[in-house]
Amino acid sequence: MERNKMEEEEVAFDEMASVQRLHELKLIAPDMTEQGIFSEERIKNHVARGAGITLLYAPERVDETILGELETLAKEAGVLSKMQRMQSGEVMNCIKGHQSENRAVLHTAVRDFFGEENNSGPAKEAAAMAKIECDKLKQFLSSIGDEFSELFMIGIGGSDLGPSAIYYALEHLLIKGRKVHFINNIDPDSLALAVKGADLKRSLAVVVSKSGSTIETKTNEEFLRSKFKAAGLDPGRHFIAVTGEGSEMDDARRYLKVFYIWDWIGGRYSSTSMVGGVLLGFALGFDTFWEFLKGAHAMDQVALREDIRSNLPLMGALLSVWNRNFLGMATLAIIPYAQGMSRFPAHIQQLSMESNGKHIDRRGNTVSHRTGMVIWGEPGTNAQHSFFQLIHQGTDTIPLEFIGFKESRFGDDYTFEKTTSQEKLIANLIAQAIALAIGQKSNNPNREFLGNRPSHLLIAKRQDPFTIGALLAYFEHKVAFEGFIWNINSFDQEGVQLGKVLANKVLNRMPSMKSASDPFPVADAFIKHFGDV
């Protein structure tokens, strides 16, 4: 008899038999510095492909026995069933027995237009709603033609990090004559710099807030509106809202156009909705945005594959859990060998750490195992001349997730000393993975590299919209699979709320230290020191 849904959700990580066996196997994990272990045969046998992306994980400290037990772990945790249920629209954002958001998680529905659509009621309804917004966007972009040449994107967190990461990855496809300015910080210098030199008469401003009440976004919106008014312009003819239906921003009198998002899409999972769509459609063209959605949908299908070895995001999650919970590694460096991917690590940092930075399980009980890793990174090869010294010879082992492309974005390359710049870039990526794994023996201890430091590679042919969409969805599903395995809720972010509440209390004390109804002496002490500067 199949395990019912409730039982599936209640499998505690440390209670699974596979977890106990993996703790035993970690003691005999392969040593990648051993002669002959890092072979051509190993590389051929440790590969997964899907949606135009190849995952090479031969440099990871796994063998067939460990991989088999990791597969058992995935089955014990019921992760494929949970992924199917998530994509079907069941309530997955919840903590049983405690007040929580209690929502479906349906970011996959906003790109479910390309065949093999999910036919469950909630998913089908969500996809229909999302398609309406896509059609609205296509019509809107057609209606404005070349009337506008610049766009300000006002958002914070998931309303900025994902869309900006994707924009920079595809910036080579920017429509001629168009510019984009990101305003993502309450720091007034951020807005002042963005506005400097902009042609406001030919500018749009996209304001993203699901609730319509995010204080940083509201402040920046009003600040920017004041700039338009000072230039003698009507902000209502230039500002676009991306918000929840019925929010205070859902107001056709204040906005040229209003696009909708829904509570079943978390901010960090919202890049394929209108949160990213308006920006990407304006800057790169609707067809580019559509191809990007197609790539994300293709990876959604890969995430449902029952063959675990060909399920890229699940394999990525299992390697992450292996490194985190069994080999004791606390951080993961994401290193894209592509300058256009410079903001991708920042987006994955939020996606992962906001999702899986949890210390309670789905019943509200304190977990007895480690959960999310610290995510960080910068583009190679610059990173090699920055922090790779610590990665190669430091006292902590830091696993890496490399991203690389066979071709450059612009196709403009140069041959020097018999190889092109792109070939040199790829050579560096490959060399780093090998060097970290095998290390180097030396009679000079200063030149000894211990090796045995794991990594895996995500490689694709080129940085096109389809591939970037697939990469985005890979990381979204990898994070979700990690949460399913750890039995935590990867879809809320209560840890963000306390700081917001306290910030509002501090703000109440700011105007010249006036009396407030909610005395906050600790804040007063800090404010006094700012006043003394």
Per DSSP, the three-state class of 161 is: helix
Residue given tokens 């993203």 in the structure block: 208
Q: Give Cα 193 distance to the centre of its chain.
A: 26
Catalytic residue selected from 385, 418, 514, 529: 385
- 354 part of the active site: yes
Q: Max Cα separation, the chain? A: 75
Q: Give CA separation, 419 vs 46, 337, 402, 414, 422, in Å.
A: 28, 17, 22, 8, 8
- The region, left, alpha or beta by phi > 0 then psi within -120 to 50, assigned to residue 113 is alpha
Q: In Å, how far are 168, 299, 451 from 465, measured between CA atoms? A: 11, 13, 36
**CA distance linking residue 405 with residue 422, whole number of Å:** 9
Annotated catalytic, 385? yes
Residue closest to 292 by CA, chosen among 487, 162, 478, 426: 162
Overall residue count recorded for the chain in this entry: 533
Task: List, in sequence order, every beta strand (DSSP E) within 389-492.
Answer: 400-405, 415-416, 419-420, 455-460
Peptide bond into 217 cis (omega under 30): no
Cα–Cα distances in Å, from 39 out to 42, 59, 68? 5, 10, 20
| The two structure tokens encoding residue 355 | 């999702």
- Active-site choice (23, 229, 441, 500): 500
Q: Which of 9, 216, 354, 401 is catalytic?
A: 354
Q: How far is CA 151 from CA 55, 198, 235, 416, in A?
A: 36, 9, 13, 39
245 has catalytic annotation: no
Looking only at the bridges linking them, the beta strands covering 103-104 and 91-93 are: antiparallel
Tokens in use for 365?
């009980």
> Which residues carry out catalysis?
354, 385, 500
